[in-house]
């Protein structure tokens, strides 16, 4: 009964989405006030129907209803409750439902928070969102029915891939998908603007919060996925330039460009056409990301839900959404008037450079990711492109990006001179050069350069804050008062840029990692760096749905007892799989990473890593996302919010 209700709710949502698309776009076109007024209600209705559908699936999973094929294939009685709930989106059908639900949430959010938007624009935005949603829900209903029944129902389910039974991965899909799908809103705004044939500064101000929120979620989602790969896969690495990882990186790069170019639209009414194109491109890449993962075109480490048959549907959907919006762009973009003029050396100029560099990085990532499957398809060549390719192409483009990143916010709008900027930021540059110089002794040049860049970014990002608050030059009280008056967007940008610096420092640190593989019998000892490891014991322990083999390892540092760690190896009888449960002992400056491998002749193979600064990689991503969120809290972005900071903001050139 419950699964049928869920299926019905899903079908209802699909119908409401079609209605929303038609009513929104047609109503706005005919300027029919009644139709326009009906659109938000439809969007909220769609959201409620989708929430009901998702609720039914979760209910069926929690109550072990194995007559539902999806749950019989992916769940089991012995599975912990958390993974019964999160497992509903850990498979293809469920993840498509989750995708639809998040798209529904976006539509509902535009309906509820977008009351200050002109009603015509809002109806068009909701219409475009409804159309996209309708396509996806139709896909869910026709090819990936999460509620399909199974007869006879098995007494127990087949269980879930043990690698996915992990808290980090449980919340990775919703966060990542919120990032992916969130870019549907800027996309809908872009298409709506093309339909209306008008873009102004207000459009930029409305788009930016949505783009920024999606960007922050995507940043967190990517970081969480990378963190999972680091501690769960047990290779000691955190980013493998795997096609699925690249699929999330591509919209992140263009999304970052979008967040920045929308500022130019808002402040200077320039780069409007480009921003529209970026909004379309970012969502297209998000969709392609789903497509790459779900269709089996790119088989990879993470692709656990491949099915080429579904690819055709997704491919058609992609063609319709991307092709349609690009066609509309080609027809309408020339009618959009271009705006303010600026000198190459200016804030706008720096943002344009940022966009060019980010899009170039995205272009090489696309080439590296797409070339192998196409070479296979067209030339019959079996090739693969790995980390060496991406290291050789991304780093030369990333270094200038980082160099400009810290400088950009210091430049004034319209026209700038280098002199004053250097006067503000020379100390950051000097410290960065010193850091790079010190690191160059005994490290590879690239690593030293990366540390220098990290220092430059972290310090340079705060150069503007220091400058604006007159820190170190005025009395502390004055600085504090000025800091409170500072628009949160300025602070947010500085924090986000500094977060990137922290991530780069982490990446550079891990490149200095040391590792060692040894086979030890209980009582055996080994040394790595200043740490001394003694294997005390190997023992068995039962888990809820697995058997664990645990190694007890004592660590001493320079002879002083330091810690005892217990890496595990878990075998899941149901899935006939073994996973390594790594232990990571961290002090935020370095990770001690211990993996228990196979055993033979009474000896266990153990792998030890010392990963300097590893936690900084994800910490930096969190800081970046926090900066984005802080910037979102800026009163200037909240239309109609009483502007406490207006006087302070007016006193400072924004």
**Residues lying near other proteins in the complex (CB under 8 A):** 161, 163, 233, 235-237, 296, 299-304, 306-308, 341-344, 352-353, 356-357, 359-361, 363-364, 367-368, 371, 381-386, 388-389, 392-393, 396-397, 516-519, 526, 576-579, 595, 597-598, 600, 605, 607
The distance of closest approach from Cβ of residue 462 to other proteins in the complex, given in angstroms and rounded to an integer, is: 28
The distance of closest approach from Cβ of residue 612 to other proteins in the complex, given in angstroms and rounded to an integer, is: 19
Q: Tell me, what DSSP letter sits at residue 154?
A: P
The distance of closest approach from Cβ of residue 95 to other proteins in the complex, given in angstroms and rounded to an integer, is: 15
Closer residue to other proteins (CB): 262 or 623: 262
* Whether the Cβ atoms of residue 216 and residue 636 lie closer than 8 Å to each other: no
* Whether the Cβ atoms of residue 243 and residue 249 lie closer than 8 Å to each other: no
What are φ and ψ of residue 536, in 5° steps?
Answer: -80, -50
**Token code pair at residue 464:** 């503007």
The distance of closest approach from Cβ of residue 144 to other proteins in the complex, given in angstroms and rounded to an integer, is: 13
Count CB neighbours of 365 within 10 A. Answer: 23
The distance of closest approach from Cβ of residue 138 to other proteins in the complex, given in angstroms and rounded to an integer, is: 21
Closer residue to other proteins (CB): 527 or 643: 527
Closer residue to other proteins (CB): 48 or 399: 399
Closer residue to other proteins (CB): 49 or 278: 278
Grouping H, G, I as helix, E, B as strand and the rest as coil, residue 272 is helix
Whether omega for the bond prior to residue 12 falls within 30 degrees of 0, making it cis, is no
What is the bridge-based pairing of β-strands 568-572 and 577-581? antiparallel
* Whether the Cβ atoms of residue 351 and residue 260 lie closer than 8 Å to each other: yes
Closer residue to other proteins (CB): 309 or 477: 309
Closer residue to other proteins (CB): 67 or 526: 526
**Which of 362, 392, 98 is CA-nearest to residue 252?**
362
Closer residue to other proteins (CB): 9 or 595: 595
Closer residue to other proteins (CB): 202 or 605: 605
Closer residue to other proteins (CB): 4 or 307: 307
Query: What residues does 561 pair with on adjacent strands?
Result: 556
Q: Tell me, what DSSP letter sits at residue 565?
A: E
The distance of closest approach from Cβ of residue 340 to other proteins in the complex, given in angstroms and rounded to an integer, is: 10
The distance of closest approach from Cβ of residue 222 to other proteins in the complex, given in angstroms and rounded to an integer, is: 19
Q: Tell me, what DSSP letter sits at residue 235?
A: S
Strands (E), 505-559: 514-520, 525-528, 531-542, 547-557
Cα 247 to chain centroid distance, Å, stands at 10
List b or e across 111-122, with b for residues whose CB sees 16 or more CB atoms inside 10 angstroms.
beebeebbbbbb
The sign of the dihedral angle between the CA atoms of 145, 146, 152, 158 is positive
The distance of closest approach from Cβ of residue 39 to other proteins in the complex, given in angstroms and rounded to an integer, is: 37
**Cα–Cα distance between 531 and 518 in angstroms, integer?**
14
The distance of closest approach from Cβ of residue 392 to other proteins in the complex, given in angstroms and rounded to an integer, is: 4
The distance of closest approach from Cβ of residue 9 to other proteins in the complex, given in angstroms and rounded to an integer, is: 28
Closer residue to other proteins (CB): 118 or 597: 597
């Amino acid at each position: 009964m419950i699964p049928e209700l869920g299926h019905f709710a899903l079908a209802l949502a699909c119908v409401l989405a079609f209605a929303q698309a038609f009513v929104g776009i047609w109503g706005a076109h005919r300027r029919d006030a009644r139709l326009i007024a009906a659109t938000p209600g439809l969007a909220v209705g769609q959201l409620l129907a989708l929430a009901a559908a998702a609720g039914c699936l979760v209910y069926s999973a929690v109550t072990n209803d194995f007559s539902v094929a999806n749950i019989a294939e992916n769940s089991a009685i012995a599975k912990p409750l958390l993974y019964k709930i999160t497992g509903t989106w850990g498979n293809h059908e469920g993840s498509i439902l989750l995708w639809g639900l998040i798209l529904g949430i976006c539509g509902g959010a535009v309906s509820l928070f977008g009351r200050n938007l002109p009603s015509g624009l809002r109806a068009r935005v909701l219409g475009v969102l409804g159309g996209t949603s309708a396509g996806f829900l139709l896909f869910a209903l026709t090819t990936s029915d999460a509620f399909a029944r199974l007869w006879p129902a098995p007494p127990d389910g087949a269980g879930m891939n043990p690698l996915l039974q992990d808290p980090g991965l449980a919340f990775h899909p919703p966060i990542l998908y919120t990032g992916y799908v969130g870019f549907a809103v800027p996309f809908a705004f872009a298409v709506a603007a093309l339909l209306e044939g008008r873009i102004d500064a207000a459009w930029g101000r409305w788009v930016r919060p949505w783009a920024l929120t999606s960007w922050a979620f995507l940043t967190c989602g990517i970081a969480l996925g990378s963190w999972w790969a680091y501690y769960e896969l047990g290779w000691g690495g955190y980013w493998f330039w795997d096609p699925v990882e690249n699929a999330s990186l591509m919209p992140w790069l263009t999304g970052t460009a979008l967040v920045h170019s929308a500022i130019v639209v808002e402040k200077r009414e320039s780069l409007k056409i480009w921003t529209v194109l970026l909004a379309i491109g970012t969502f297209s890449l998000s969709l392609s990301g789903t497509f790459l993962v779900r269709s089996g075109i790119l088989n990879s480490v993470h692709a656990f839900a491949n099915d080429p048959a579904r690819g055709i549907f997704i491919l058609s959907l992609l063609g319709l959404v991307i092709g349609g919006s690009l066609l509309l762009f080609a027809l309408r973009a020339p009618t959009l008037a271009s705006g303010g003029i600026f000198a190459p050396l200016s804030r706008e100029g720096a943002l344009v450079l940022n966009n060019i560099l980010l899009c170039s990085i995205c272009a090489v990532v696309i080439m590296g990711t797409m070339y192998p499957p196409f070479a296979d398809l067209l030339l019959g060549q079996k090739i693969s492109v790995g980390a060496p390719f991406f290291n050789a192409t991304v780093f030369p483009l990333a270094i200038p990006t980082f160099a400009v990143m810290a400088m950009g916010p210091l430049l004034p709008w319209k026209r700038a001179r280098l002199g004053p900027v250097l006067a503000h930021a020379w100390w950051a540059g000097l410290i960065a050069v010193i850091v790079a110089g010190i690191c160059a002794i005994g490290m590879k040049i690239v690593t030293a350069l990366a540390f220098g860049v990290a220092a430059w970014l972290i310090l340079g990002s705060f150069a503007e804050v220091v400058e604006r608050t007159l820190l170190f030059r005025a009395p502390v009280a004055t600085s504090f008062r000025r800091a409170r008056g500072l628009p949160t967007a300025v602070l947010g940008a500085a924090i986000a840029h500094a977060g990137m610096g922290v991530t780069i420092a982490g990446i550079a640190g891990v490149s200095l990692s040391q590792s060692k593989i040894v086979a030890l019998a209980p009582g055996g000892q080994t040394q790595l760096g200043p740490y001394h490891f003694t294997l005390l014991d190997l023992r068995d322990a039962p888990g809820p749905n697995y058997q664990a083999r645990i190694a007890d390892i004592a660590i001493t540092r320079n002879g002083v007892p330091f810690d005892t760690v217990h890496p595990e190896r878990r075998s899941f009888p149901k899935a006939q799989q073994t996973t390594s449960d790594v232990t990571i002992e961290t002090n935020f400056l370095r990770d001690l990473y211990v993996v228990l491998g196979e055993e033979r002749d009474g000896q266990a193979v153990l792998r030890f890593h010392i990963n300097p600064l590893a936690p900084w990689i994800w910490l930096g991503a969190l800081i970046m996302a926090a900066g984005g969120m802080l910037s979102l809290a800026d009163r200037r972005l909240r239309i109609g919010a009483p502007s406490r900071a207006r006087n302070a903001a007016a006193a400072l050139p924004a």
